[in-house]
Amino acid sequence: MDQPKNKPLLHRTSLKAHFRCRGVYVTPFNRLPNLYPVHWFQDWAPEYLWMGLIIRHLGRNEGMANCWVCLKKIREINGGVVRPEWSWILGLPEEIQKVFLAMVVHLCGVDSLSPLTCLYTLSKAPLFAQVFQTDHPLKNRIATIEETLKEMSDHQSPLSTDIRYIIVFCRCSGRQYSFEEGSPTFVALANYPKTDHQDPIMPFYATTIRSMETAMRTDKPINRAFVQTFWDDLYGLEDCHIATMKFKKENEGATEFIAKIEQGLDYYRELLTSKGPLNAKDQVLFGLATFGFKRCKEVVEHDLYNTVSGRSDIRGLIEVYLTMVDLLKKEDKHPSIYEDFQLYGLGQFKVVVAAARESKEDLDSSHVFYPFLEGIVNEYRDEEFLNVDFRYFENERIRDKFNDCGKIDLYSLKYNYDSSYEHALWGAVRESSLLECTDAGHQYHQVPDIGDVENLKSVWPDCREMMSSIMDVLASCYGAPVEAAVDQK
């Protein structure tokens, strides 16, 4: 049995397993009540960065133990109440803060948290700044924060899980939660700090810890103001580092291919026009093929292989191919389908012409040549006899057409993607026009690609395939042209 070739690394719910409701495919998770995505990195990393710094500074075992000792100290002197969030600690009464900070210095050293002095300066956190002030260069302090945040940006990384263990332990030790001795949760809590991250049992413990921490987070409101200030301040301190992708230009044999197709189309033209004026079917099929050829040729002549416009061309070619196949499939049952197809298209132009007549704008500079359009609209019959159909042609949805023609894969894998480009949907905008900053401190934000430094994967292999398919359709109707050939892939 054929196995899918592009299996994802993580388990992903298939579209079939989604719940369909009025045109929306709802994921199983989104159907569960009170369940919503939470952002460990964006919303919580600023609160727990201090623990990340200590663990990185002292190493896993000593770092985790000392973080807990410091928190325990707060609990002792704060009436049994402790929370590991930095904003909460900085909001404690001065005398408690002083004891906590002194404890951190005693157990972990000044250098453990000194990187934070570039964010919590004298004016923002006077007590902290006074204790952790060092003469380490600013750029080194920022770099340490960046490296730590990078490790914390994955909520499943060893560092993130270690931090999440301390959070869970802090909650559990406060007797807010209790677990039956010997239960899997109890075992995970007891063994996690003693187990190495490479140990085969660790994935089980780590998953348990992370799930518990996520569950415990639901009753803790995010300190939005604190988190926002953290990211704003850090954003200013770092320069962006932009990651870019550059695909190679794949256009092997493009010029030769275009010449070959042109020769083939030329052959058909001579063959068909020599016997008399073209009938509606010939006109439509040839017109469509020529339209597709023009788009294909534009890709080659204007070097559109790796561009946004190239995707629009592919979509056009797919549409041409599908229309040709669809018309041929229906011609027996619907003898006037070619004429109707022409009138349907002219009806769409009639709408534009009518709008232009009523418009008060100066239309001279428009890319639409309205007087010529009017001539075309009235070419086959006077427009007074031309209906306008605002539905899809034959009142059939595009997806259904692909399905009927046995080309649903073409729709799912390519047409749908290219349509995003045609309609400026966000997926296409993100892929083509935004670059990613690789700085964790900038939350991996996106930057507009004004300089056009990134390109897209070449459309040429698909372009060639679609144009060849269009030529195949012509060949199936009129026979393969002599000499000129449809590309033999």
For residue 100, what are its two tokens? Answer: 């906590």
Q: Which is nearer to other proteins, 137 or 182 (CB)?
A: 137
Binding status of residue 233 toward other proteins by CB under 8 A: yes
For position 123 contacting other proteins by CB under 8 A, the verdict is: yes
Task: Tell the smallest beta-carbon distance from residue 139 to other proteins (Å).
Answer: 9
Q: In the numeric block, which tokens belong to residue 208?
A: 């348990």
Using CB under 8 A as the binding rule, whether residue 8 contacts other proteins is answered as no
d(CA 123, CA 139): 20
- What is the secondary structure of 229-262 as a DSSP string? HHHHHHHHHS---EE--------TTHHHHHHHHH
**Of residues 235 and 349, the one with the C-beta less far from other proteins:** 235
Site string for other proteins, 136-165 (x = CB under 8 A): --x---------------------------
What are 434's strand-pairing partners? Answer: 448
Give me 29's structure tokens: 């998770």
Task: Select the span of 129-137, 154-162, 411-419, 466-474 touching other proteins (CB under 8 A).
Answer: 129-137
The answer to whether 216 contacts other proteins (rule: CB under 8 A) is: no
**Which residue stretch of 125-133, 152-160, 244-252, 408-416 sits at the interface with other proteins (rule: CB under 8 A)?**
125-133
Q: State yes or no: residue 386 binds other proteins (CB under 8 A).
A: no
Please list the residues that pair with 435 across neighbouring strands.
447
CA 145/CA 132 separation, integer angstroms: 15
CB of 439 to other proteins, least distance (A): 12
Work out whether 118 is an interface residue with other proteins (CB under 8 A).
Answer: yes
Q: Provide the minimum distance between the beta carbon of 241 and other proteins in the complex, in angstroms, as a whole number.
A: 13
Could you give the CA distance from residue 88 to residue 227 in angstroms, rounded to a whole number? 12
Sequence letter at residue 453: V
* Smaller CB separation from other proteins, 349 or 444: 444
Residue 354 engages other proteins in binding (rule: CB under 8 A): no
129 binds other proteins (CB under 8 A): yes
**Which residues lie closer than 8 Å to 110 by C-beta, 6 or more apart?**
131, 132, 134
Of 121, 173, 214, 433, the one binding other proteins by CB under 8 A: 121
Cα angle: 453, vertex 459, 463; to 5 degrees: 155
Number of other CB atoms surrounding residue 489 within 10 Å:
8
The answer to whether residue 351 forms part of the interface with other proteins (CB under 8 A) is no
Query: C-beta of 438: minimal distance to other proteins in Å?
Result: 16
Confirm or reject binding of residue 133 to other proteins (CB under 8 A): yes
Instruction: Decide: is 236 part of the binding site for other proteins (CB under 8 A).
Output: yes
Contact by Cβ (8 Å): 238, 442? yes
Q: Given the rule CB under 8 A, which of 10-18, 175-183, 208-216, 231-239 is the region that contacts other proteins?
A: 231-239
**Residue 97 binding other proteins, by CB under 8 A:** no
CB of 101 to other proteins, least distance (A): 14
Q: Is the separation of the CB atoms in 44 and 152 below 8 Å? A: no
Number of residues counted as binding other proteins (CB under 8 A): 15
Query: By CB neighbour count within 10 A (0-12 exposed, 13-18 middle, 19+ buried), where does 382 fall?
Result: exposed
Identity of residue 392: Y
Q: How far apart are CA 396 and CA 329, in angstroms?
A: 14
Residue 242 touches other proteins, criterion: CB under 8 A: no
Residue 364 interacts with other proteins (CB under 8 A): yes or no: no
CB of 133 to other proteins, least distance (A): 5
Name which of 113 and 467 has its Cβ closer to other proteins.
113
- 219 vs 232, beta carbon nearer other proteins: 232
Is residue 250 within 8 A of residue 195, CB to CB? The reply is no
Interacting span for other proteins (CB under 8 A) from 79-87, 114-122, 172-180, 279-287: 114-122
Sheet with strand 242-243: strands edge to edge: 242-243, 434-437, 446-448
Q: Is 239 left (phi over 0), alpha (psi -120 to 50) or beta?
A: beta
Query: Which helix (H) or strand (E) element contains residue 488?
Result: none
Binding of other proteins by 237 (CB under 8 A): yes
Stretch that binds other proteins, among 113-121, 146-154, 202-210, 420-428 (CB under 8 A): 113-121
Within 10 Å of residue 308's Cβ, how many Cβ atoms? 17
Please enumerate, as own/partner, the contacts of 275-282 that have beta carbons within 8 Å and a separation of 24 or more: 279/338, 280/338, 280/339, 280/342, 281/331, 281/338
User: Measured from the CB of residue 239, what is the shortest distance to other proteins in angstroms?
Assistant: 7
CB of 370 to other proteins, least distance (A): 38
Among 17, 122, 243, 351, binds other proteins (CB under 8 A): 122
Q: Which residues bind other proteins (CB under 8 A)?
A: 117-118, 121-123, 129-130, 133, 135, 138, 233, 235-237, 239
